Chain A
């Protein structure tokens, strides 16, 4: 019997005066039975990355900030987001959001509208300075060439480490292609300006020099002044076939977009845009908004167009004609006009050449949007190896998110080089991904995603007003609640609820991630239901022999 004594009854009436041991009465908790010895497997907390985070070039901990949003704590959510992404109001609008395509909810009902949530949070932060843990000041000075997203990101992440950064921007303002190439209806000017102003004023360690072109030849001198140089000069020039380069009626899409973005007049009425990327669509749709007649010529099918689906759809809704599988076989200046020879695209030796002539057509200006390249001088420049590259200039044309990630990475590399230490990991690669096979949404109910409004096509054509409307705070909260928080314990307590052994405790404030859920291994029998039901795919069973 050892320590397990039957409770003594002190309330026995006096007449009994008897020893009540030996009665069929129990009052000792079964907790004295260490049923944990029955188990062969035991649960453990194994937090993972979410598919959305994994798909994000920046590896933003999306589940984390969505949860804070759902908890109606946007200030905390903003900090979580900005810790990784210094330009959320921008990326919330222009990033194609690979995260949404990877969202587990896609297999359940529909993806969480992460982009719209990021945008809302970015706008929420426009008048809120960046907050970051202060780093000890250093006497290090780093030069960044180019104030596009990559350059800015590099500057921000260095500044956060106490490094003084000087950015040299050849244009009149910061932003790079964000300012010069992305139309206002996708990224309103005031939003961009506020975002950048807020960023720059948040980091006194960053000094921006505009209208300051750095020629490759100057780099050697610059290297003496600065501890390191990061080149983030981007790919600001449209590629124009050699035969058309000298034609005054041919213009690169980026140059055209920059002109429009600066609010300057565009000559000509009829425009033909060659190309199928976002720049082509941006150019065409901007021209449309300036009241021009515009059509697109693309050498492959609509489905093969690399521009974002949403953009394609909007362009078609706005009434832009896209000639598929068509190439400009030739062009001829005829007086005021430019006559284009449009030919059927024909595949040949893995490439596409002009086939039979379809028709000839007149236009005023031909806009070329078939690719981008580095600025003059940087095209063939041989750069010292000590100079780091970042952004499009380093990796080729890519998304803003990729440019930001590249800038951040360059900052980390510079830091490691200057301090002779390993490259610091800012977003530790997760041990695993909580993909749809690992999450258990059994106790979620399907709930449709928010549907942000789009301006009607007719209104869109009338000007550069932003097409997509933002979410209301209530919508934001509701949509953020849809996130499964794949891979991250939210202390939702489902494991606790469904444990038949009363062997799980939830300790939301226990601190460490693994401390949020506590398993009582003395009593857990290893049934595995907690792992089988964990909605986030966090709990795993491991052998326990």
Chain B
């Protein structure tokens, strides 16, 4: 098919059919424009029907629908907040004990369940090299409970518990560095706003064995104070400004950048596109820009920072 934009496997109808099968149902409870919903839809397209999803408290615990409904056409196990990684490990070990080694066990958790309350369990599962894919869809606050700050909330961002913006002394926790220190089988950041990259990384995660971790930036129109139709655009800006670099762990264990945006945009553009940063000062933007510039795009520098 002609003039197809660079959407994964869109080049030709026959290939398009390859990702046509849906494993997510309409009528889910996600807010309009929800990046987490879209990310799940495509994650499942890559991982396929032989996937079991384990999900702690997070937006998706609601998005997936209340009993007796479910938004997923794969098995889904809801769990308490802190334990999704451990539960997933248990699921995988049970399958292995039953001689089942094909099914992918996917933990699908928000930033609160990953950066904060679930971190210990993730560390344990990573150390044990539990054969699971852990996806943190990061919308940068406790959105499900009404937009409270998490340790994934970027400095300067408004939340209901940071009414004047998160203190600039508290940086967003560097989750990739933390997981990297556990020597995972695969590690990457991704966003569905860069679909090719997203698909490639989920495919790599699917084929790797051991503990695999994907940090997925997912726009939250309500929490970021953006219009629902701008969710993708703003997410792309996060990448294009260097605020959310798309990286993955190479064979040598270092993080390398996988997408170099065609045009780098100022951090200020990204921040100003969102209502949650309305109170950020010019000085703070400058600091942010400098920090991004320091690590921008050279893998060596990202490694220095993370390693």
Contacts and interface: CB of A to CB of B under 8 A. Distances in A.
Given A26-B70, A485-B3, A497 B195 contact: yes
Among A1, A491, A527, find the residue whose CB has the most chain B CB atoms closer than 10 A: A527
B285 interface: no
B5 A446 contact: no
Contacts, number: 160
B4 A32 contact: no
A144 B303 CA distance: 78
A523 B28 CA distance: 9
A28 B231 contact: no
Interface stretch (A178-186, A339-347, A365-373, A499-507): A499-507
A35 B2 contact: no
A543 interface: no
Interface stretch (B32-40, B108-116, B148-156, B166-174): B32-40
Interface string A490-515: 11111001111111000010000000
B67 A29 contact: no
A528 B228 contact: yes
A508 B13 contact: yes
Number of chain B interface residues as a range: 35 or more
Interface stretch (A221-229, A437-445, A467-475): A437-445
B68 A528 contact: no
B233 A443 contact: no
A502 B32 contact: no
Interface stretch (A197-205, A235-243, A529-537): A529-537
Among B26, B34, B65, B229, find the residue whose CB has the most chain A CB atoms closer than 10 A: B26
A10 B91 CA distance: 23
B41 A500 contact: yes
Given A28-B70, A29-B70, A490-B1, A523 B27 contact: yes
Given A27-B68, A485-B2, A493-B16, 8 more contacts: A26-B66, A28-B68, A31-B26, A441-B5, A492-B3, A492-B10, A522-B26, A528-B227
The 10 A-B pairs at the shortest CB distance, nearest first, are namely A70-B2, A528-B229, A443-B5, A527-B32, A523-B26, A33-B27, A527-B33, A30-B27, A527-B228, A500-B38
29 contacts: A25-B68, A26-B69, A30-B27, A30-B64, A30-B65, A31-B25, A31-B27, A33-B28, A34-B27, A38-B32, A69-B2, A71-B1, A71-B2, A441-B5, A443-B195, A491-B1, A494-B5, A497-B195, A498-B232, A500-B37, A500-B41, A501-B28, A502-B26, A503-B26, A508-B13, A520-B26, A525-B31, A532-B229, A535-B5
Interface of A: 1, 4-7, 24-35, 38-39, 66-67, 69-71, 441-446, 480-485, 490-494, 497-503, 508, 520, 522-523, 525-529, 531-533, 535, 541
